[in-house]
Amino acid sequence: MTDATVEASNLSKSFGDKQVLQDMSFGVSPGDVIGVLGKNGAGKTTLLELMLGFTPPSAGAVRVFGHDSYSLPGDIKVRVGFVPQQDELLDQLTVGDQLRVIASFYPHWDSALIDRLCGEWGVNVHARIKSMSVGERQKLSILLAFGHKPELLILDEPVASLDPIARRQFLEQLLTISADGERSIVFSSHIVSDIERLANRIWILKEGRLDWQGDLDSLKESIVRLHIRSTAPELPAFKIPGVLNLRRDGAFATAVVRDWTPEAQETLEKNASVQIEVETLGLEEIFVELHR
């Protein structure tokens, strides 16, 4: 239990009378790559910033490497990296200066890595931040969190402004980082295809609660669309466990269900004398269905 990188129990957060997060419990283990999905306003940023102690929880607790987030000690902070949604770059500095300033706070900074990535990602070290485009700023923000080789990397919509090539380069770098299986990454994104490539676990945030928390593979196997056909002219009445969305049309029906198992299929086919064809869904489709 204490090996967990991050642990949260019954975490809640409200701003004034507005409840943003309710009763969340989750964990991050070393080697996890967690994709956080949620509609705008579902509380993703609040969750990520809570995890790092930028704001106190209203109830419950969250611990990083065994320490309470709100009062993280220095030796834990150097093991953590964060890319916020709104960048914290200083307009008057050049890229090089900004990197140097941030690097000075860390005893171990891999300048060789950063230099190489600046070259590969096309970040001009001599450019003034004021004159950079949104995409370039985002790349720099990401680099600022890589340099000290954190064990826990938290990214809040890190690629919102990057073009597909830049995104691909970023994903490749994240893969390299997580390759040793000891580092954990938690990132929120709207770009579901990126999450599908990279994440092994998914958190789906809906209205302040963790609607789904588990392996991406299990998610895809568990939420499916059923195409139901009756041998009789009219589809008999039946009940499907865990149904999210059901549409009937004469002798046919389509249902999206969660927690699907092959046994459930057998049972249903026998009890309701129907034939079921299972269609698996991609992550984006699953997300949409969960929010219908």
Partner 1 sequence: MFILNPQSGVPIYRQILEQVRRMVASGQLPPGTALPSVRDLALRHTINPMTISRAYSILETEGLLERHRGRPMTVASQARNHSQLPKRLQQIGPLVEQTVVAAKQLHLSEAELLKDIRREWEQNDD
Partner 2 sequence: MKAVARLVWSYFTGTPVLRACTIGGLVLMIVDFYILMTQPHSGEKLWLAVMGLSFFFIGSALMPVMFGRLARSHAIGVLPGGRLKLLISMFVTILVVAIPVGALAPASFISGNSSVPEIMKDPRARDYVLQLTGITFTWVVLFASWMYLAMWFLTSQRNMAGLFKGLLVITLVIFAPAREVRDLTVTLSWNLQQIAVLWTVFGAGFLLWPRFKVARARRNRGLSNSLGRALAGKTMGREFDVLLGTSNPWLLTAALLLPLILATRFVGEFPAVWLFFLTIFSVVTGALSGQAGERSRALWLRGDWSRASLFAAVERSIWRQNFHVLGALMLFNIGIGVYAHFSATLLMTGVPLLVLGTLLSTYLGLMITRGLRWLEILSGIGVMLLLMFLAVFVAREDVELVTVFSLEFGLAGIAIALRFIARRRWTQIDWMMCRPDRALTARGA
CA 189/CA 195 separation, integer angstroms: 7
SS3 assignment, position 23: strand
CA-nearest of 157, 208, 159, 155 to 186 is 155
Which residue(s) pair with 67 in the sheet? 64
**Site map 2..41 versus partner 2, x via CB under 8 A:** -------------x--------------------------
Instruction: Pick one of partner 2, partner 1, none as the site partner of residue 175 (Cβ within 5 to 8 A by kind).
Output: partner 1
CA-nearest of 141, 186, 187 to 166 is 141
Give, in order, the Cα–Cα distances in Å from 169 to each of 6, 110, 137, 142, 212: 27, 19, 15, 12, 29
Q: Nearer Cβ to partner 2, position 163 or 263?
A: 163
Q: Is there binding between residue 3 and partner 1 (CB under 8 A)?
A: no
Cα torsion at 16, 17, 18, 23 (round to 10°)?
A: 100
In angstroms, what is the C-alpha Rg of the chain?
22
Q: Nearer Cβ to partner 1, position 93 or 281?
A: 281
Window contacting partner 2 (CB under 8 A); options: 25-33, 73-81, 160-168, 234-242: 73-81
Q: Is there binding between residue 75 and partner 2 (CB under 8 A)?
A: yes
CB of 207 to partner 2, least distance (A): 19
Tokens of 73: 């000690």
* Contacts of range 237-241, beta carbons closer than 8 Å, 24 or more positions apart: 238/268, 238/271, 238/272, 238/274, 240/268
Q: Is there binding between residue 138 and partner 2 (CB under 8 A)?
A: no
Window contacting partner 1 (CB under 8 A); options: 39-47, 65-73, 137-145, 215-223: 215-223
Tokens of 174: 């994240």
CB of 281 to partner 1, least distance (A): 5
Q: Nearer Cβ to partner 1, position 105 or 252?
A: 252
Q: Is there binding between residue 267 and partner 2 (CB under 8 A)?
A: no
Tokens of 25: 């419990």
Instruction: Pick one of partner 1, partner 2, none as the site partner of residue 252 (Cβ within 5 to 8 A by kind).
Output: none
CA 142/CA 153 separation, integer angstroms: 10
Q: Is there binding between residue 159 and partner 1 (CB under 8 A)?
A: no
Single out the residue of 244, 285, 288, 289 in contact with partner 1 (rule: CB under 8 A). Answer: 285
By the criterion CB under 8 A, which residues form the site for partner 1? 31, 33, 168, 171-172, 175-176, 178-179, 181, 193, 196-200, 216-217, 220-221, 224, 277, 279-285
By the criterion CB under 8 A, which residues form the site for partner 2? 15, 46, 49, 52-56, 71-75, 77, 80, 82, 86, 88, 90-94, 97, 100-102, 104-106, 126, 128, 130-131
